[in-house]
Structure 1
């Protein structure tokens, strides 16, 4: 079979011939792969930079951890791979697959699940979103951020505030559920003044943060209290596109009723993972099938992966490899 692998200390993946993978136990299922999304998670795991990665311990590995595929009987499912997924054949865990409904094509089925994990798990399990909450999505112009804006409204947010650097993508979010948009630009004072004005008028209840770094520092500074009573704020770190380290004033923790937490691999319970596969992802697929959850993808063929591995996909789209 054809498969895409990444060798250690080699910058670009290669499409090569490998033996078909084999089922090792009764929980595993052999599938025919149709589409695999290329995510930041996949890239960082493949090069050994993600905190959950063991790539440095291996000679090479098949890229990709999930995708849209066909069971032996032809049923379309989204599945989590036991090993790599970007190949003509793969082995998936039968406990970690979800049927793909009619109305959701293979590209969307491959791209959407990671974003649902990065958005729904944070909103529901870490932020405990409630109807009427005011939600700030920091870094909303990326693929997962755009999904988070839409799901926040679906889960009952009264107001959704979106931040980002891409003004065109920010403007698009106004038609996807965002009520306020704030551009992250070099003018820190301008960013803070806009956010503080919004927070004064409608206190922010939840921050879902995909950037961390300096933008998170600015937001936390805006949320700092002055000694009077404050509403409870749930700040959830999901990504660190703007930097892995921040400076945090102790006054933030003492002056505001704030809860700092993270959402990602290792931060979720087994029960929450099960709920993702049984409820959250099926619900998201149904929303997509009904046209109530919109995502954009760009497709490339597996054999062209070396040329397109570092392709910059604009405006919150997701790159998906078709097999």
Structure 2
């Protein structure tokens, strides 16, 4: 079968037309004909062996891609997590980890949305326990997941949404998706810090959803620092580390402010939360997308072009989807 295969860890995947078709060996698994699969930071990181979830794995040649959209034998179109790699003509999926797609949703959007939904809704609902009317700051909102997070926060009833990012044109476009305030990252530290402090003092920030970590996270946490008086509780949820995996955090910040610091990602979610993600959250977002109430911007490529397009840089707010 045709597939994008990682033969050597650390190299780019190769397009091949004669990779063995996966064989189903368990009763709770079935074969799917794949039609679309998104290329995400997670896929690149896992394929290279750099993601924490691949620690200890013994590398062998395998098709890449963790999830995608395709048809079951009876013609039902579903989104599913792959047991085998999903950027291939055929893949094995678990019966309990698939979602029937609603009428009207685009294949590329359906392939792109679930990872972004997991990277935003799970943090808002379970780590931050968001309530309607709360103020949410999204650090690094100009990427695909960040733009989805803006829309989901709005859908969940956020009273005010503040967004940060490097691309100022993209930041402006987020106002149409539900953002209320924009803060460019490409300014001096003092100005960035001052803007956050001003907004926080005017209407306290309840939730921070962070996709960047690194220096901007340090500045945001510094902006929350108290002076010995009672402070507003802020829930800071780390989801990504685009600008650095470590930060310096003063213990004075932890002692001077009512701060809840947590992370949201693979390994941090409970089984019950994962069940709700598949049974409730993603299906709801699929329906919103089918009804044109949730926008997912994608750029599609063909499977045969995977080698030259693996590291393709797309404009902020879009996700690459491989069509098969």
What range describes the TM-score normalised by the shorter chain of this pair? Answer: over 0.9
Contact 1:47 1:55 in 2 (8 A): no
Would the aligned equivalents of 2:9 and 2:47 in 1 still touch at CA under 8 Å?
A: no
Cα distance between partner residues in 1 of 2:213 and 2:55? 24
| SS at structure 2 position matched to 1:69 | strand
| Equivalent residue number for residue 199 of structure 1 | 200
Indicate the residue corresponding to 1:101 in structure 2. Answer: 102
- 1:265-293 deviations in Å (ceiling 9; x for gaps): 00000110011000000000011111111
1:220 is aligned to 221
More displaced 10-residue stretch of structure 1: 146-155 or 59-68? 59-68
TM-score scaled by length of structure 2: 0.98
What is the distance in 2 between the residues matched to 1:50 and 1:215?
22
| Distance apart, 1:54 and its partner CA | 4.8
For the Cα contact (< 8 Å) 1:141–1:169, is it kept in 2? Answer: yes
Q: Equivalents in 1 of 2:253, 2:62: separation in Å? A: 43
**Structure-2 residue corresponding to 1:288:** 289
Contact 1:55/1:61, CA 8 A, preserved across alignment? no
Return 5+ residue gaps in structure 1 as ranges: none
Equivalences for 1:41-190 in 2 at 5 Å? Answer: 41-54=42-55, 57-190=58-191
User: How far 1:59 sits from its partner (Å)?
Assistant: 2.5
Q: Please list, as runs of the form range in 1=range in 2, the aligned pairs for 1:272-287 lying within 5 A after superposition.
A: 272-287=273-288
Match of 1:234 in 2: 235
Identify unmatched segments of 5+ residues in structure 2.
none
How many angstroms does 1:227 deviate by? 1.0
Q: Shift of residue 60 of structure 1?
A: 2.1
Match of 1:209 in 2: 210
Contact 1:8/1:56 (<8 A) preserved: no
What corresponds to 2:317 in structure 1? 316
Q: What TM-score results when the alignment is normalised by the length of structure 1? A: 0.98
1:3 aligns with 2:26: no
Matches of 1:36 and 1:235, distance apart in 2: 31
Question: For structure 1, which segment, 28-37 or 55-64, has the greater mean C-alpha deviation from structure 2 after superposition?
Answer: 55-64
Match of 1:24 in 2: 25
Shift of 1:61: 2.2
Give the conservation status (yes or no) of the 8 Å contact 1:15–1:302.
Answer: yes
Aligned mates of 1:133, 1:309 — CA distance in 2: 39
Q: Deviations over 1:83-126 (max 9, x none)?
A: 21110000011111111111211100100000000000000010
Whether 2:308 is the aligned partner of 1:301: answer: no
Residues 1-39 of structure 1: CA distance to partner in whole angstroms, max 9, x if unpaired? Answer: 111111225532111121211111111011000000000
